[in-house]
Amino acid sequence: MTLENGDTKAPDARGPLQVARRQQLLEALQRDGAMRISDLSQALNAAPVTIRRDIAQLAAEGLVQRVHGGVALITPDESPEVEESPTAGTSSLSGRTLGMLVPSLDYYWPDVARGAEEAARELDMRIVLRGSSYDTEDDKPQIERLVDRMGVDGLIIAPRMDAPTAQRTIDWLAHAGVPVVLLERTATVGPHHAVMESVVTDHALGAAMAVRHLTSLGHRKVGVLLDSNSPTRPHVRRGWLEAAAECGLDPAATVEVVVPDVRSPDRDAVLDEVLDRCQATGTTALLVHADAEAIALVQHCEERHLSVPGDLSIVAYDDEVAALFSPPLTAVRPPRRSIGRAAVSLVADRLADPDRPTHRVVISPSLRIRDSTAEHTHGYPPAQAAERSRDDQR
């Protein structure tokens, strides 16, 4: 549409077809009462994602309310008061259900889920938790089940971002008709690359904290080991590189290795090669992502009679089980419970105010100093220490 001054204006998003379909939806609810999204999709010959968008619009207008598995008409005596207090939106969240999809239910993510469950319970909301897998190529079927069959009111998810289907899943989420918050992931959609709401840990900051701690102890060659499977890997590497530059270290003069999956037959050989390279380069400290890799590396040090932290200081990244090992490992701890709580807060705020600006939350990790790091005394470098230990055995 062209205005008199020559400006253009986008047409009303509610075109004739949308208006007619939403009117049909209201008529169906008046006739049949509460209905499931799948039934409405079939009755109106429209895709479920289209029906969810219609419901979101009608709910925002105060004409319908989402119920478990579907939608119901708001009768006159159920209509909200015209005058609402500033906190009225919070009470309307009672009974809402949030779907949560995470890639693992046995490492890292359980604490995130506990934080989300705590925050949801405080708001009288419910979490429906589902586990995916780092091996899953397509998260979309799981997400569709949460939205279409279980009728969740919002989604908190950590989708696979490196799968061939990732962009398709993100595009679907952007038009799902329910609030979506990404966990430890970021994404953009549409031609203008609009950002999706997200809660992430500042993993680069965590890695940098580890490097600064090690340099404060006198270490001048600080290497890094990275988990091959984790989407956190590039952020940890970036933090390591940035802190190395800040502290005047040369990353090329030390060790940078990607450790294969625990199921790989090459894993032990790679860890042995890491120690060989530490000795060859004079590397005296390592940042290791994640706990399992750090623990395995310490065990390889013990087999080779290298002392931790005497010959090699180690900082683990994740702090899932690092404190339970002997020696207890210095570790960077991501704010797992806070991540879950913040995600629920974002969804709740979006449900209460659908027109609020997009929020992206970044939460800082913490460094837990334990027994696997020590001051570098510039005595025997690791290669000489290893040779001395072999001489002692002879």
> Do the beta carbons of residue 287 and residue 210 sit within 8 Å?
yes
What backbone torsions phi and psi does residue 124 show, to the nearest 5 degrees? Answer: 60, 40
> Do the beta carbons of residue 323 and residue 372 sit within 8 Å?
no
Instruction: Name the least confident of 3-12, 92-101, 220-229, 342-351.
Output: 3-12
Which pLDDT tens digit goes with each residue over 323-332? 999 999 999 9
Is 90 exceeded by the pLDDT of residue 219?
Answer: yes
pLDDT category of residue 286 using cuts at 50, 70 and 90: very high
Sort residue 12 into left (φ over 0), alpha (ψ -120 to 50) or beta.
beta
What is the pLDDT at residue 75?
Answer: 62
Across 338-342, average pLDDT = 97
Q: Looking at per-residue confidence, does 153 or 51 come out higher?
A: 153
What is the pLDDT at residue 17?
Answer: 75
Is 80 exceeded by the pLDDT of residue 62?
Answer: no
Is 90 exceeded by the pLDDT of residue 334?
Answer: yes
CA 392 – CA 394 distance, rounded (Å) = 5
Across 74-82, average pLDDT = 51
Q: Could you tell me the domains of the chain?
A: 16-78 (1.10.10.10), 94-196+338-365 (3.40.50.2300), 203-329+370-393 (3.40.50.2300)
Instruction: Name the least confident of 48-52, 303-307, 318-322.
Output: 48-52
Could you tell me where the DSSP H helices lie in the chain? 16-32, 37-44, 48-60, 88-91, 109-122, 140-144, 166-174, 203-216, 233-246, 267-281, 291-303, 336-352, 382-393
Q: Looking at per-residue confidence, does 212 or 26 come out higher?
A: 212
Which pLDDT tens digit goes with each residue over 349-365? 999 898 899 999 999 99
Whether the model clears a pTM of 0.85, i.e. scores above it, the answer is: no
CA 338 – CA 334 distance, rounded (Å) = 9
